[in-house]
Every structure is written in C-alpha cells, then in structure tokens.
Amino acid sequence: MVGHRTERHAGRRRVVGGLLAVAASSALIACEPRITLPLPLSTPTAPRRPAALAAKQPPAEPTLRLGVDFGRAVRLEGVTIDAESAPVGGFLRLWLYWQATEGSQEDLRSIAQVIGAQGRIVAKEDDQVGGRRRFLSKWAPGERGIDEMRIRIAPSTALGEHGLAIGVLRSDNQTHVPVTRNQSSVAVWKEDAILVGTIEIVSA
C-alpha cells in the first residue's frame, strides 16, 4: 500500500514537472523579442513624361514650299513636318526654312500653334529665329537658316484633326509681326500667321 502511494506521488511529480517545464518554455518564448518585418514601401508613381524625340537631321529642302514674308524682315521659304500625326503627351516636330530679306534690325521669334475646334489654340511653341547662337539681326540680306521646333501636345488635347499655323513674334513685346507678302497658296490666319497644314492628334 505504501509502495503504491509512493509510486502515485512520483507520477504526479512527473506530470507537474512536465507542466512546469512547458510553462517555463512558454514564458521564455513570450519574453523573446518579436521581429516585425517592415511593410513593403510603396514606390510613388512618377508623372509620365513625354518620350523625347531622337536627334534627326533636317531635310535639305522643305516638303512644303511657301515664300511668305513677315514684316519685310524675314521670309519663311518653307516647312517640313516630321509626321502627319502626333500623340497626346508627346511632341510634334517640324523644321522652318528662313531667309533674311532686307535685313532685320531686331531678333525675331517664330511661333507655331496647333489649332483645335472653333479656332482655339491647344498647343504652341516659340523660339528664336536662327537659334540662340545666330540671332536674326546678324544675318545678311539673303542669308538662310533652318530651325527645328518641337511642340508639346498636352495629354488633355482632344483627339482628331487640328490645324497648324506659323507666325513671327517680336522678341521685346511678343506682338505678332504681320504677313506682308504671301507667294504661296496657303491661307493667312488672323492676318499674322499662315496655315501650313493639318495634324492628326492620336492617343499615346
């Protein structure tokens, strides 16, 4: 009887000891510092930039010959439009072929305008005639030059056919130089620019 009681107590001690061991192990696990993995950082979406146009040599001769004088100072001999369409968010590229007529006493700027419905200007760009290293006031009468122009087409521009007008601005006050002679078959737009063609605005 005594031996049976002793064996039963020994069994209890083993069970209790086992529970204490489990409890101790759980306490140690609870005390261990938890490693928290950081949440993946979200990469901010950068605004979409229009694809840059690759460098390209202008054609030696314009695809559209004109012969339009602005203010008896400079003649637009012709225009070459790189493509018949341009994507929204992209660029329209063209080349302007100039000739000094009587010689300009001021440095003029060319301006290209993309015209939408009801004559609204939806895109435009202006730049120095002759570039920044060859101002028009330094040209001799009869001297020629070719300028490249890139017009940014905003993503919000309506799709479809648009007109393209070319004019000349005075550098000091940004007023338009009037068309004084037009030897071409193109129409004059608002007395100070000419409509050189149409451009199809397409989706990107």
pLDDT (0 to 100) of residue 109: 96
pLDDT (0 to 100) of residue 129: 95
pLDDT (0 to 100) of residue 53: 72
- pTM of the predicted model as reported, rounded to 2 decimal places: 0.73
Long-range CB contact pairs, 38-47, < 8 A, 24+: none
Identify the three-state secondary structure at position 140. coil
d(CA 37, CA 33): 13
Range list of β-strands (E), 153-192: 160-170, 179-182, 188-189
Q: Is 72 exposed, middle or buried (0-12, 13-18, 19+ CB in 10 A)?
A: middle
Compute mean pLDDT per 10 residues along the chain, 204 residues long, and list them.
46 41 38 40 47 78 96 94 96 97 86 94 95 88 95 96 97 92 93 95 94
pLDDT (0 to 100) of residue 76: 98
Range list of β-strands (E), 82-159: 85-87, 91-100, 108-115, 121-128, 144-152
d(CA 81, CA 111): 14
How far out from the chain centre does Cα 198 lie? 21
d(CA 168, CA 194): 10
Closest by Cα among 156, 134, 153 to 143: 134
Q: Which CATH number fits domain 64-202: 2.70.50.60, 1.10.20.10, 3.40.50.10190, 2.170.150.20?
A: 2.70.50.60
